[in-house]
Amino acid sequence: MAAARDLPLTGAQAGIWFAQHLDPANPIYNTGERIDLVGPLAADVLVAAIRDAVEETEALHVRFSSVDGEPRQSVVPPGERAAWSVQRVDLRDEPDPEAAARAWMDRALAEPVDLDRGPLFAQAVLRLGEDHHVWFHSYHHVVMDAYGFSLVARRVAALYAARLAVDAAPASRAGTLDELVTADAQARDAACEDDRAFWAQRLPGPPEPATLGRGSTRSSATFLRRGSTLRAAAVEEMETAAKAAGGHWPELVLAAVALYLHRLSGAPDVVLGVPMMGRLGRGMRTAARTPGMLVNIVPLRLRPTPATTVGELVAEVAAELAAVRDHQHHRFEDLRRDLRLDAGGGARGEAALVGPWVNVKPFADKLRFGAETIGTARPVAGGPVHDLAVNVVRQPDGSLVLDVDANPATYDADEVEGHHRRLAALLGTLAHTPADRPLGAVALLDADERAAALAAG
């Protein structure tokens, strides 16, 4: 058998590899997702489909090394890989199976991953009820991003359907790790000077990031989360309001976070961190079909004022997104170095360029497991949270999951609850606010807070 080719890391992998080696026991780079399956399910078939999908995903089976201080990786051949299994956990007899499932996943994510020995992933099928299973899959962030989660999930669903029908497995459309690494390097090299010039013009003397927290924003080993689900009808109302300003509901979400941050912090300049999948552009067709780690964070700079109208802010978000999307291959880490923000970091730590991160997944994966069972995906952990992270995920029924994650070194549980509650209320408010209304006239308090304020005079 030919020796595995020694490969460099993608730009996204390299930053995480170095960060993890500075703190090897920190589990914050463990990422995870749950896929709820409510309905009839052939659990043995699902386990087999998971095994097949994981085995064919090269990014999950790498061996890291260091050459002259630079990390390298090679794909471990199938016959030399460490043994692993899909764990099966029956929680039906627990007093609260859902709470038990969350606790089980939290414990799994809290286990540090040894990058030198692996495994770099974990898979489990949790049974909460007779017709309720949860497929939990987690990966160290050095080998997988959120887009990769979706690719793996779609592949598992396809393999499950084939096994259930006793058909031959459909051919995988994914590329090799070599192709993924090559595409990433070519995309970054091709646009390097243009991207650097673009960002130098976009962020001359970047402002101190606006934040609602206190103290350091160096990421902790854990994070706080508050979440809820916005009904499908509310999302349709958000879309109608956004279209009146020439945008769509994802731009309305970003506008809401920018407005909220501007009003509560008083900052006239708001810079949000927005994840981009790093798979767009010439030469990235195979990368768009290949699980791995390419995601990048790009700064989205907005300048709302009390006189800015809702429509103007939504339009500004749409224009800025269109502009930065074409320059998403310039790595966040490189941009910080370009701006000389990486020398020690100071109290702001790694967040010394952007404030809260806002991640919007506008399209739901249609994960069908048999004729009656559709998988509903929801992120459980997405990596370090330096300040606030607002995650919005579309569901198959048209609803939205809204999660607000926070760094516990910067926010307490009550503050996170308040920010989540007010942001959810603000989205509802903006869905019914005329596009020509000034931001200064938009109420930020939720119904209970408005009632309390009125009662207090």
Average pLDDT along the chain? 92
- Name residues whose C-beta falls within 8 Å of residue 163's C-beta, 6 or more positions apart in sequence: 45, 48, 49, 169
Q: Are residues 149 and 254 in the same domain?
A: no
Q: Are residues 155 and 292 in the same domain?
A: no
What CATH number has the domain bearing residue 319? 3.30.559.30
Question: What is the rounded distance in angstroms from the CA atom of residue 296 to the CA atom of residue 273?
Answer: 10
Residue 192 lies in a domain: no
Q: Are residues 240 and 341 in the same domain?
A: yes
Given a cut of 50, whether residue 346 has pLDDT beyond it is no
Residue 399 lies in a domain: yes
Of 233, 240, 223, 205, the closest CA to residue 412 belongs to: 223
Residue 159 lies in a domain: yes
- Burial-class residue 72 by CB neighbours within 10 Å (0-12, 13-18, 19+): middle
Instruction: State the CB neighbour count (10 A cutoff) for residue 15.
Output: 21
Q: Are residues 44 and 92 in the same domain?
A: yes
Q: Which of 152-156, 383-387, 395-399, 446-450 has the least mean pLDDT?
A: 446-450
pLDDT tens digits along 31-56: 999 999 999 999 999 999 999 999 99
Residue 9's SS3 state is: coil
Residue 100 lies in a domain: yes
Quickly state the pLDDT bin for 432 (edges 50, 70, 90).
very high
Q: Are residues 36 and 89 in the same domain?
A: yes
pLDDT of residue 344: 47
Q: Are residues 159 and 231 in the same domain?
A: no
pLDDT of residue 236: 97
For the segment 422-435, the average pLDDT, to the nearest whole number, is 97
Place of tokens 């794909």: 75
pLDDT of residue 190: 85
Q: Are residues 19 and 65 in the same domain?
A: yes
What CATH number has the domain bearing residue 80? 3.30.559.10
Q: Which of 78-87, 209-218, 328-337, 423-432 has the least mean pLDDT?
A: 209-218
- Domain span including residue 75: 7-178
Given a cut of 50, whether residue 184 has pLDDT beyond it is yes
pLDDT tens digits along 115-141: 999 899 999 999 999 999 999 999 999
Question: What is the rounded distance in angstroms from the CA atom of residue 35 to the CA atom of residue 33?
Answer: 7
Domain total in the chain: 2
Q: Could you tell me the end-to-end alpha-carbon distance of the chain, in angstroms, rounded to an integer?
A: 79
Given a contact cutoff of 8 angstroms between Cβ atoms, the answer to whether 356 and 272 are in contact is yes
Given a cut of 90, whether residue 413 has pLDDT beyond it is yes
Given a cut of 70, whether residue 452 has pLDDT beyond it is no
For the segment 172-187, the average pLDDT, to the nearest whole number, is 96
Q: Are residues 242 and 357 in the same domain?
A: yes
